Structure 1
C-alpha cells in the first residue's frame, strides 16, 4: 500500500511534507527526443537510432542500440539538436555492453547554441553558473540516469572510457513546463511579425517555472524589474496565472524595508507598477489589500529619496545594462520611473481608501514634474521620459528614438522604446523596428529571445544552430558585455518578450480600460498591414477581433467580447 501511495504522489507531482501537508507541483514533464545529429566524432554505430522516439525502458533484447566505441587514443562523441530551446533535464537509457557490468563515464555539455555545447568551461565565458551545463556523469549497465535541469537546445555527449564500448538505447530531454493554454493570439498579413509574437510568448512560457524566472539557463531567479515585460506578456497570452502573485510575494518577503528589491531602487518601483497592472487586469481586491502595509512603507521610502523634486535614490542605480554607464541617462530614467511608480501607487491607494498615501504620492509627483532631466541621447532615458510625460513624445521620437533605427535598442528596454513610439503615433515605424531587431534573432536560428542583442552583431555572423565555419563570427561566443559575456549570455530571457504584448495592445488595439478587466479599448493601428486578427484573455473570457483594411485604407473591425466586458472604441 505504501508503494502504491508513493507511486500516486510521483504521478501527480505531489510531495508529502513532514507535517502531513502536500506541495503540488504546477509543472508538467514531457519527454522530447532529438531531431537532428549536428556532429559526431570517433566510432559511432547506428547513431541515427537516437532520433527515433522510444519508451524510456531498458530491455534484454538490446534492440535499436547505438554504440559509441573508444580505443586507446580516440574518444567518440555526438552532438544532438532537440529542435528548440527548452527547460529540462537529460535522460540516457543504456543497453548491455560486454566486458563486465560496471558503470560507464560520459561528459555532458548543454548549449543554447551549437558553439556553446562545443565549448569548455572558461572558454569565451562558458560557465556552470545557476545550472550545471558541463559535467561528467556515470551511466549504469542496462538502466538509465538523469541529469539536472538547465535551459538548452543542444547536447554534446562524449564517451570517456578508453578501450571500451557504450551502448545507448535512448537519449531524451525531460522538458519541464506549465501545461497551460495560449488564450491570446495574433495573426496578421506579416508572417514575420506573427512569428515574433509567438516566440515572445514562448520565451515567457519557458520561464514560468515554480516562479517566474528571468531565464532558464543563467539567472533562474526572480528579478522584479525584469518581470514587467514578462507579466505584460502573461496578461496578453495566458491571462491569470498564479506564478505572478507567487513571484511578487517572494520579492516582497525577501526584501524587508528599507531594502530595495534585488538591491535596485527601480526594481522596487517596478513592483508597484506590476501590482497596478495586475489589479487592472484581474481586480483581486483581497490580494491587493494584502499589499497595503508594504506599499505604504515603500511609498514613504521612495518619497524620502526625493529632494526638491529630484530623485536621489540610493542602492544600485539601474535601468538596463546597455545604459548602465551613462549616469545622466540613469538619473533621467529614475526620475521618470519614480513619477510612474508614485502615480500608480496613488491609484492603488485610492482603491484601498488610503487618502494619506494617495496625497503623499500626488504632491511628490507634482513637485517632480517641475524638473526636466537630460536624456543624454539615451533611447532608454528618452523612452521613459516620454512615457511618463516628462518629455514630448514626438520630440523624443524625432531627436532620439528614430536615430539609427534599431541601433542602440535593447531586448529589455526595447519594449519601452516601442511604447514611446506608439505614444508618438509611430506604429508603422515601431513594427519596422520589431521586424528588423527581434526578427534578426530569428534569422540567426533563435527559438526564444535573448538577454541582449546588438543589431551590429549580425555582420558575418553564423547561425546558432550550426558549427561556426572558419571566417564567420560566433554570434554567441564572440559578443556580450557586463554579466552576459560570451557563452554566459542567456538565449531565453523573458524580459525580451515586449513585442508580444505590444503587438496585441497597439496593432490589435486591445488594452484594459477599467480595473478588473471590466472594460477594454479596441483601437487598432495596422500601419502597412492589410489585416490583423487575434484573441485576448480576460477574467470573463476571450475577446476576439479581426481588423481588415479596404482598398481605400479604411479599417473595418469585427469584435466579439464576453457579455460582462464593455468595449470602448
Structure 2
C-alpha cells in the first residue's frame, strides 16, 4: 500500500472515530430489573452476544513487535440466527420504523411481509411483532421505533424457536423455546449500529519533542493510550515507530514490546494516523531514506465514564496515590475491564474481578461489569477454566456475588444462571476422589507471580475460592427458584468449608497451611488462603487474631510483591482494624512507584530493584506492564475501609458506614450507589454523613459521648456508637476520635 492510499484510509478512520466518539457514553441504570426504556428505542440483541462479539474483536488486536498475538483460550461466537418478538396493544394505527443488522423477515401476528420492509403500519388492537434475523459477521440486532412501540429490554429473544408444522400446515401451539429479555446497552439512535461501535477519541499534543538527525523522541508526559498521528509526512522511505512506557523502552529499538512500520511515498506534506492503538508515554520515530515528519500528536482513546466516587484527606501523598489509581483504572476501563493497556489487552478474570470492586467505588458503571462477565463466560459447552486458570473461574463466580450485592440486579442472574450452572458442573466434574479441586492436565493454577510458590497437590487457596463459589451458586439458585440445587450447593459449600479447617488448619502454625500433597498437609504457610479467609469471615475471632500475628504481620512468611495480591493482603488487614498500618503500607508501596517516576501503577513492584530493572518481567527487559488494572486498589481500600461504606443488603437497600481515619486528620469523599451517592466527611472531632438512598447505619468510636441534633445515638459499649441514617438527610455528629 502506498502512503497516499494509507493516508486516505487513515483519514476515513479518523472520521469514523470522531463520529462514534460518544458511542461509549454510559446510561444510568437504576433499580433491580433490566432497564425499561419508556418510548426510548434502542438497538437490542441476544444477551451476551454483542459482548462476546466485541470481546473477540478487542482481544485479537494484540500485537507483539508487529506480530499478531491471539488469546490462549477458546473464543466463542455469537448466534447467527435470532428471533425477536414483542406483544403490543395500540389504541390507534401506528407506523413503526424497523432497522436491522442482517437479513430478516418481519411478521405481524404470524404473517410475513414481502421483502425486508423498513416501515410497517401496526393496526389498532393487540398484536405480536416478530423479527427473525440472520447475520454471520455481526451480531443480529434490531431497532424498532414508533409512537408508543420501541425496541428495548422488554422484548423477548431466542436463538431457536423450536416450532414445528403438521401435515395440514398448522404450526405448534406449545413450544419448548426458552425466551430471554433482549440485551442492550446505549445505542439509542438509528445510526448507532452496534457493529459500528468505537470508543471515544480526543486529540492530545506531545509535551516535549527531541529531534536528532531526522529522528524524533516524543514525550506525552504520562502513560497514555491511543493512535499516534504524524504531521507533515513527506518523502520516500520508511518510518519506524518504537513505543515505550518508559524512555528506556522507546530507545531500545531491538527489545521494545510494540512498534509500527510505515512505508512512505509522498510528494507533498500530509498527515497520517497509525491504524492500531498503543500504550505509551514515549515514542521514538526513526526515519530511513528520504522520509521526513514535522511533528507528532495523538488521538487519546477512552471509554467516557465519569468519576462518581471521590476521596480527599489531610495527607497529600495519599491524595496523589488516589488520583494516579483513578487514572490507572480509567486507562484499563475500555470496552471491558482489561488487565493492562500495553501488553495483553485481554480480559483476564482475576484482573477484572478487582476492577469490578474498584469500579463500585469510582464509576459505579454497571454495563462494563456485566459486559466483562458475559464476555469472560462465553458459551456452552465448557471445555476449560476461564482463561484456562482454575482460580480465575472462581473469581468469575465471586464477581457475580459482588455484582448482586452492589447493584441489586437480579435480571442478570436470572438470565445467566444456566451458564453459571454449567460452569459449576464443569468444576464439580474435575474434583478428585476426595472431593477437592486439584490441577488436572490443561489447568493453570496461577494464584500469584511469586518465586517458588508451589502449585502441587490440593492447594488450600483453591479450595477456599471453590467454597465461596458454591455459596454464590446457592444464593443464585435460590433467586431463580431452583430449590433442589440451592440445597445441594449449600451443602457442598458447607462440606468444603469443613474440609478447609479439618485438613489445612494447623494449631502449631496458627494458620491454614498452603497445600496437601499425596494426602498429607504440608508445613508451608503462605498468605493467600489466610488473608481471604479473614474478609470472607470464615475464621472465628480467635483465629483472625492468630492469623494477623503469625501470618499477615510476620516477615518470615514469604512477602507479596504484586499489587494484585497486595490488594487482598491490605484488605484483610483493614478488615482487622489495621487502617493505620495499611495507610503507611500504601504510602510506602504505591508511593514507592511514584518516586520511581510512575504516572500509572504497575503490574509488579519490588523496591529492591534499581532503575531499568523495574521494567523487566517474564524474561524480557520491557515486558512488565506499567499500567495495570490491579495496581489501582487504593480506590477500593479507601472507599470501603476508610470512608467505611459498603452495602449490607443488595443494591444499598441497607448500608453501613464505619469511617476510620487510620492516622489521618480528616477525610472527605463520596461512594456511588445505584441511585445516588453516600457522602462522608470525618475529622478527629466531627463526622458529616448523607445518603441518597436506602437506610444507612453509621458506626464509629468516640472517647466522649457524641452529639447529633435531633438524633438518638446508641451506645454499643467500649466507646462504640451507632445511629440510623435516613435517605436524603444530612447529619453532623460532634465526637472525639
Q: TM bucket by the smaller chain?
A: 0.7 to 0.9
For 1:256 and 1:223, how far apart are their aligned partners in 2? 20
RMSD of aligned residue pairs (Cα, Å): 2.8
Q: 1:389 to 1:323 in 2, by over 3 A?
A: farther
Shift of 1:275: 0.8
Q: Does 1:86 align with 2:86?
A: no
State the secondary structure of the residue aligned to 2:491. Answer: helix
Q: Does 1:518 align with 2:653?
A: yes
Q: Does 1:494 align with 2:619?
A: no
Tell me which moved more, 189-198 or 389-398: 389-398
Shift of 1:386: 3.2
State the secondary structure of the residue aligned to 2:335. Answer: coil
Q: 1:110 to 1:566 in 2, by over 3 A?
A: same
Tell me which moved more, 8-17 or 407-416: 8-17
Aligned partner of 1:326 among 431, 454, 465: 454
Structure 1, unaligned stretches of length 5 or more? 43-75, 462-472, 551-555
Aligned residue pairs: how many? 495
Q: Does 1:558 align with 2:691?
A: no
Check the 8 A contact 2:474/2:485 in 1, yes or no. Answer: yes
For 2:284 and 2:215, how far apart are their aligned partners in 1? 7
Q: Which residue of 2 aligns with 1:278?
A: 403
Counterparts in 2 of 1:381-530, with a 5 A limit?
381-389=529-537, 392-404=543-555, 407-457=559-609, 461=610, 473-477=611-615, 479-481=616-618, 485-530=620-665
Q: Which residue of 2 aligns with 1:31?
A: 203
Q: Which residue of 1 aligns with 2:212?
A: 41
Q: Does 1:12 align with 2:145?
A: no
Shift of 1:192: 1.4
Shift of 1:522: 0.3
Counterparts in 2 of 1:249-328, with a 5 A limit?
249-253=374-378, 256-304=381-429, 305=431, 307-308=433-434, 310-314=436-440, 315-322=443-450, 325-327=453-455
Shift of 1:306: 6.0
For 1:541 and 1:29, how far apart are their aligned partners in 2? 28
Identify the structure with bigger relative contact order (alpha carbons < 8 Å, sequence gap 6+).
Answer: 1
Q: Which residue of 1 aligns with 2:292?
A: 166
Q: TM-score, normalised by structure 1?
A: 0.80
Shift of 1:284: 1.7
Check the 8 A contact 1:111/1:133 in 2, yes or no. Answer: no
Aligned partner of 1:240 among 365, 370, 387: 365
For 2:537 and 2:694, how far apart are their aligned partners in 1? 33
Shift of 1:40: 4.1
Q: Which residue of 2 aligns with 1:351?
A: 479
For 1:536 and 1:176, how far apart are their aligned partners in 2? 26
Q: Per-residue displacement from partner, 1:292-319 (whole Å, max 9, x unpaired)?
A: 1112222333334265463335321121
Q: Does 1:218 align with 2:343?
A: yes
Aligned partner of 1:199 among 324, 339, 342: 324
Q: Which residue of 1 aligns with 2:50?
A: none
For 1:394 and 1:196, how far apart are their aligned partners in 2? 29
Tell me which moved more, 76-85 or 226-235: 76-85
For 2:481 and 2:347, how far apart are their aligned partners in 1? 30
Q: Which residue of 1 aligns with 2:107?
A: none
Check the 8 A contact 1:329/1:378 in 2, yes or no. Answer: no
State the secondary structure of the residue aligned to 1:310. Answer: coil
For 1:185 and 1:82, how far apart are their aligned partners in 2? 26
Q: Which residue of 2 aligns with 1:72?
A: none
Check the 8 A contact 2:606/2:614 in 1, yes or no. Answer: no
Larger radius of gyration: 2
Q: TM-score, normalised by structure 2?
A: 0.63
Q: Per-residue displacement from partner, 1:389-426 (whole Å, max 9, x unpaired)?
A: 55533222222222349943321111111111122221
Q: Per-residue displacement from partner, 1:454-473 (whole Å, max 9, x unpaired)?
A: 2222xxx3xxxxxxxxxxx3
Which is strand-richer, 1 or 2? 2
State the secondary structure of the residue aligned to 2:228. Answer: strand
Q: Per-residue displacement from partner, 1:34-63 (whole Å, max 9, x unpaired)?
A: 1124x5422xxxxxxxxxxxxxxxxxxxxx
For 1:239 and 1:561, how far apart are their aligned partners in 2? 16
Check the 8 A contact 1:85/1:448 in 2, yes or no. Answer: yes
Check the 8 A contact 1:202/1:448 in 2, yes or no. Answer: yes
Q: Which residue of 2 aligns with 1:370?
A: 498
For 1:427 and 1:8, how far apart are their aligned partners in 2? 48
Which is helix-richer, 1 or 2? 1
For 2:249 and 2:550, how far apart are their aligned partners in 1? 39
For 1:568 and 1:256, how far apart are their aligned partners in 2? 47
Check the 8 A contact 1:108/1:156 in 2, yes or no. Answer: yes
For 1:544 and 1:293, how far apart are their aligned partners in 2? 38
Aligned partner of 1:144 among 254, 268, 271: 271
For 2:656 and 2:338, how far apart are their aligned partners in 1? 30
Q: 1:324 to 1:423 in 2, by over 3 A?
A: farther
Shift of 1:444: 1.0
State the secondary structure of the residue aligned to 2:279. Answer: strand
Check the 8 A contact 2:552/2:569 in 1, yes or no. Answer: yes
Q: Does 1:231 align with 2:361?
A: no
Check the 8 A contact 1:318/1:324 in 2, yes or no. Answer: no
